Amino acid sequence: MKLLNFDRIAMPTGVKNLKKYSNGKAGKFTNFAKGSPAHVKAAITYNDLINHFGLTKKYEKITSSEKIRWVYLKQNELGLESCAYKGYEDPPQIIEIRELIKRPQ
């Protein structure tokens, strides 16, 4: 499993209701509303990373009704549990999450 391409590990899904589950309260990254689905949290985290790296003018954020892939992450300095990506036009800073993917044992 450790040698598999991260696209084969990532879970594909569609994402809806981003605004419903994002409360955007204080902090560098969004605090999620109670009961937020994991894939929605991952998509919101992607959008927060776009802001964090200052890439809002160069890359588009994930929007509702968009298809995504998402992965759980190992413990990291930003405290992120999961992250999504589109699979196209993703910033290199976010694609570097490959090193943080929590792979199945």
Domains and CATH numbers, the chain: 6-23+35-100 (3.40.1820.10)
Phi, psi of 30 (to 5 degrees): -60, 140
What pTM was computed for the model?
0.87
> Which residues are CB-neighbours of 66 under 8 A, at least 6 positions away?
14, 15, 43, 86
Residues 25 and 29: their CA atoms lie apart, in Å, by 9
pLDDT, block means (10 residues), the chain with 105 residues: 64 90 70 89 93 92 93 88 91 83 67
